[in-house]
Amino acid sequence: MNPAAVGLGLSLGAAAVASVTALVCPDRVRPLLVGLLAAVSGAAGVVAGVAGMAGHRLAVTLPDLLPLFGIRLVLDPLGGLFMAAVGGVAVAAAVFGIGYTSPQGRGGSGLHRRAFQVVYPLFVAAMLLVPAAASIGTFLVCWELMAVTSLLLVLAEHRRRPAVAQAGLWYAVMTHLGMVAILVGLVLFAAHAPGGSFAALRDAAGELSPLVRGVVFVATLIGFASKSGVVPLHVWLPRAHPEAPSHVSALMSAAMVNLGVYGIVRVGFDLLGVGSRWWWVLVLTLGAVSAVYGILQAAMSTDLKRLLGYSTTENMGLVLVGVGAAGMFAAAGNQVLAGLAMAAALLHVVNHAAFKTLLFLSAGSVLHATGTRDLDELGGLRARMPATTLLFGLGALAASALPLGAAFVSEWLLLQGLIHGVAAGGVAFAVTMPVAVAAVALTAGLAVASFVKAFGVGFLARPRSAAAENATESGPTMIGAMGLAGAACVALALAPTVLVPALAPVVGAAGPLLDSPAAQGALTLRLVAVAGSLSPLLLAAALLVAALAVVLLLRFVADRRTRRQARLWDCGAGPLSARMEYTATSFAEPLQRVFDDVLAPELDVDVTHVQESRYLVDSVEYRARVPDRIERRLYQPVLRLVDAWGQAGRGLANGSVHRYLGYGFYTLVGLLVLLAVTR
C-alpha cells in the first residue's frame, strides 16, 4: 500500500468531512470538530509529503472529473517537501483555531460562524493539492481554489474593522493579477507542447526558442513572486496578514507563500530545464532586494502582525537568493554548488514555516488576550502570559539567525554556497555573489534588531495600557499549538543533520543539474566537495556548559557576600513608570536615521503656543510615519491614473440609448476595416 496515496486521500477526506461538519454542527461544538478534522487533514498531508520525499511516488489520473483537462496528480520528492511543510503548519494552526475561534474568545469573535468554518478546511486542502498537481488545468484550478478560499478567510472580520475590506481588495487584485500572469505563461508553454501535462511540457521544453522560454519564465515568475510577497509585488502581504485571523495568517505566511517558491522551482528548473543565466540573476536580485527592504520595514513597524508580515517578505527574499544562486551555478555547470544553494533555500523554506507559524500564533495569543497588536500599547506580558512570552521568545530566536535558532543553519548553508561561488568564474559571479553575501549579512543584523524590539517592547518591562495590564494567559489548545510549532523549531535548530541529507532526493527532483548532496554527517554537517562543517548540537552543548559555569560562578561569589536589598537606581527621578520606557517607535528611531534615504519617513511636529504669548509653548505634538516607499512611488500613481480613467468613463455612460448604439456601430465598423486591411 502506497503511504503517499493513503495520506493524501485521508487528508482530502478529512478536509471534506470538516467542511460538511461545519455546515450541520451547532456553534457551540463547531470550532472543536472542525479544528480536530483540519488537524487530521494536515497530519495526513505530512505523512503523504514525507512518503513522497522518501520516494513513494503517487500518480492519479481522473480524466472525467474536470472538463477538457481532467485531474492529474503526481507526487515526487519536490512536491512532497512542500506538502509536508503545508501539512505541519496546518496541524498547529488548526489546533490553535479551536480556542481562538471559540464564541467566548475576544480575538476570534465571530469566527465560530458557519461560513468561516466551512471555508477553512477547503483552504488547507487546496494548499495540499498544489504541490501534487501535474497538469496545467489541475494546477490552475488548485491554485485558484487556494486564492479564493484564502481571500474569503482574510475577509472574515470585515464587519468589525474597515481596514479588513481594504486589505481584502488589495489581496484580491494582486493575487488575481498574479494568476493571470501564471495563466499567460503556462498557456504559452502548452501551445508549444503536445499536451497540458507536466510530462509533456518537460519533453517539449528543449524545442522552445530562447525567446519563448524567457517569456514563459518571466510571466510565471511574476505570478509566483506575487504570491510569495516579493518586492515590488509585496504590497498585499503587510495588509492581508495582519487583518486575517491569526491562525489564517500563520497558514498564509508560513505555508501559502512557500508555494510561490515551489512554482518558481517547478517551472524554472524542472519544466524548463534551468534555462539561461540571466533568469537566475533576476531571481537573485529580486530576492536580495526583498530581503533587505522587507526587514527594514519590519524594523520600523509598530504593529506586531505587520512586522511579522514584512519578515515574511524578508525570508522569502532569502529563499529566492538561494534559488537564484542555484540557477546560476546550474547554468554554469557547477553541480556541487547548485545543489548546496538549492538545499539551503529549501531548508530555509522548512525553517521559515516552523518559526513563522510559532510567531503568528503567539501574536494571535497576544491579540486574543489584549485585543491589540500595537507594540506601543503592550508590555508587561511576561508576568501575565508566561507561556506565550517564552514561546514568542523562542520564535524570535529562531527567526533571528542566531546560534541555536532554526534560521541559523539554513542561512549558514546559504552563505557557504554564496562565498564559494565567488570563485566559480565569470563576471556575473564576481559581482552578484559578494552583493548577495552582503544582503544576507545585513538582513541577519536587522532581523535581530527587529525581534529584540518586538520581544523587549511587547513582552517585557511594564504594561503601557489597561489591556496589557489585564491580560490573561491563553487556553490549553492555543498553548499546545504554539508548543508544537516551538518543538519543531527546536528540532530543526538542533538536529538539522536529520533533514539536510534527506533533502538530496528533493533537490535532485528539481532538476538533473542539481543532483548533488549538500551535506552529510550524523552529528556534524560536513559540506560535500567544499570546505565547511557545523555541529549545532555540539554548539548548543558548549553554550549550555558555558552558561551553567557562569551561573555557578556568580552564585559562588554571591554566597560569600552579605546580601542586602536596595531600590533600583532611577537617576534620582523617583520610581520608573511605563511612560519612561522605550516604545517600538523610539527603539527603531536610530535605525530610521541610518536608513533615512531608503525609508523616506514622514515627520510632522505641531507646536501649540500659549494664547497670550507666542514665546510660551503649551504643547508639542510629534508624529512619525514610515510609509511603504515602493507603494507610494509605484502603485499610487497607477491608482490615480485608473481613478482618472474611471471618472472620464462616467462621461461616456450618460444613459443615452442612441449613444450606446453608436458605440456598437463604430466598433463594428472599425473591426470590419481592420479585417479588410489585414487579410
Higher pLDDT, 252 or 610: 252
Strands (E), 63-209: 71-75
Average pLDDT value for residue range 64-88: 88
Q: What share of the chain is helix, strand, coil (3-state, %, to 5)?
A: 70, 5, 20
Taking residue 482's Cβ as centre, other Cβ atoms within 10 Å add up to 29
pLDDT above 70 covers a percentage of the chain that reads: 96
Question: Any residues with CB less than 8 A from the CB of 85 and at least 6 apart, and which?
Answer: 49, 255, 258, 349, 350, 353
Any idea what DSSP says for residue 371? S
pLDDT above 90 covers a percentage of the chain that reads: 46
pLDDT in tens, 579-635: 777 888 888 888 888 888 888 788 788 888 887 777 788 788 877 788 888 888 888
Average pLDDT value for residue range 287-299: 93
pTM of the model: 0.91
Q: What is the largest CA-CA distance in the chain?
A: 104
Question: Any residues with CB less than 8 A from the CB of 427 and at least 6 apart, and which?
Answer: none
Statement: residue 3 has pLDDT above 50: yes
Statement: residue 512 has pLDDT above 80: no
Q: How far is CA 143 from CA 148, 183, 252, 468, in A?
A: 9, 11, 13, 40
Average pLDDT value for residue range 419-424: 82
pLDDT of residue 573: 66
3-state secondary structure of 303: strand
What angle separates helix 427-459 from helix 386-399, to the nearest 10 degrees? 170
pLDDT of residue 560: 64
Average pLDDT, the chain: 87
Least confident residue range of 100-104, 322-326, 444-448: 100-104
pLDDT of residue 107: 47
In whole angstroms, how large is the CA radius of gyration of the chain?
A: 27
For residues 179 and 226, give the distance between their C-alpha atoms in angstroms, rounded to a whole number.
9
* Residue 262, H or E segment: helix 257-265
pLDDT in tens, 659-675: 888 888 989 999 999 88
3-state secondary structure of 345: helix
Average pLDDT value for residue range 450-456: 92
Higher pLDDT, 36 or 586: 36
Give the burial string for 418-442 (b: 16+ CB within 10 Å, else e).
bebbeebeeebbeebbeebbebbee
Average pLDDT value for residue range 201-221: 91
CA 83 to chain centre: 15
Average pLDDT value for residue range 221-243: 91
Average pLDDT value for residue range 286-315: 93
